[in-house]
Amino acid sequence: MYGKGILKGLRVTWNRFWNTYIEDISWLLQGKKRYYTKEGVEHRSSKNTRGIFTVQYPEEQLIAPEEFRYVPFLVYDEGAEGKKEVRCTSCGICAKVCPPQCIWIVRTNDPNTGRPIPQPAEFYIDMDICMNCGFCAEYCPFDAIKMDHEFDIASYDRNVYNLEKLLKPASYYAEIRPLNYAREEEARKAKEAAKAAKAEASASA
C-alpha cells in the first residue's frame, strides 16, 4: 500500500510525542519534579531519556562534568591573613606549550641582585586568542594553572586577563574539580613526606 512507509514513520513521531507526557505523569506519580531540578536534567541526559530532551537554559543548565574546560585561571593558596600565595613560578612552560601563543609572562627580578625570583610580575592571557585546549593546565609542573568551568565570558571589549583577573583561590579549584584536587593534594603530600624523610635521613646521618 502506498503511504505505508510514511505511516510507519509517523508512528515513531507519534510515540515520541506521547513519551513526553507519559514521562511527565510517571514522574508526577512518583512525586518527583522533572523540570528545573538537577535530577530532571540528569535524567534527560542519561540513556533512559524519553520524550522531551532539551534543557531550558538558563533556568536549567546541563551538569558540567569535572573535566569540562573553558579558559585557564591561576591558582593561589590562601596563606595566613588572606595572603595570596601564588603557585606560579613563572617557569614559562605554559607560554611555551600554548598553541596559539596567547600567554605572556613577565618574570620578577630581585631588585637587589637582579636575579629572577620564582614569581610572576605580570601574567596575561588573551582570552580572545585562547583555543581552550588545556595544554597549559596539563603540562604545568606546579598545578598553578587550571581550566575554569565558567563559560559565559562574552563581552563588548577584548578579553585580555591580567594577573588580578586570573587569580582564583585553591578552594574554588577544589570546588569545581574535587577529584583532581584530591589526587594532586595526595601526590603533593606524598612528595613533601618523602622530602621530609630524606631531609631527616641526611640530618641524622
Partner 1 sequence: MTAPASTTTVDLIARFPNSVSADARPGYAGFIVNKESLLEVATAIRDEFGYDLLTAVTGADYIAENKMEVVYHAYKTTGGPGLVFRVQVERADPVEVPSLVGLWPGVDFQEREAWDLYGIKFTGHPDLRRILMWEGFEGHPLRKDWKEAFFEEEAKPFKSRWPDGQHSYVEFKNPFRDNLNFPKDFDPEKYQPENEKDLYSSLERFSTQTEDGLKTDQIVVNMGPHHPSTHGVLRVAVKLEGETIVGLKPVMGYLHRNHDKIGERNTFLQNIPYTDRLDYFNSMSNNFGYVTTIEKLMNIPVAERAEYIRVIMAELSRIQNHFIFIGMLINDLGSMYTPSLYAFEERELILDIFEAVSGARMMCNYFRFGGVARDVPDDVMQKIKDLVYDRIAAKTDEMERFLNENEVLVGRLKGVRMINAEDAIRYSVTGPVLRAAGVPYDIRRADPYSIYDRFDFDVAVRYNGDMYDNYLIRFDEIRQSLRILEQALKQIPEGPINSQKPQYQVRVPAGEAYGRVESPKGELAYYVVSNGKPNPYRYHVRPPSFVNLTAIEHICKGSKIQDFVALLAMLDIVMGELDR
| Binding residues vs partner 1 (CB under 8 A) | 2-6, 8-9, 11-13, 16, 45-47, 49, 53, 64-69, 90, 92-93, 95-99, 101, 103-107, 116, 122, 124, 126, 131-135, 138-139, 147, 160, 179
CB–CB of 166/122 below 8 Å? no
Closest to partner 1 by CB, 86 vs 103, is 103
Rounded to whole angstroms, how far apart are CA atoms 54 and 14?
18
Name every residue whose Cβ is closer than 8 Å to that of residue 143 and which is 6 or more positions away in sequence.
Answer: 75, 87, 184, 188
Closest to partner 1 by CB, 90 vs 170, is 90
Query: In angstroms, what CA-CA distances link 21 with 5, 25, 26, 77, 162?
Result: 26, 6, 8, 50, 50
Min CB(153)–partner 1 separation in Å: 16
**What is the bridge-based pairing of β-strands 103-109 and 167-169?**
unpaired
Closest to partner 1 by CB, 74 vs 147, is 147
Min CB(52)–partner 1 separation in Å: 10
DSSP 79: -
Min CB(99)–partner 1 separation in Å: 4
Closest to partner 1 by CB, 4 vs 83, is 4
Min CB(97)–partner 1 separation in Å: 4
Min CB(177)–partner 1 separation in Å: 10
Of 169, 157, 198, 149, residue with least CA distance to 78: 169
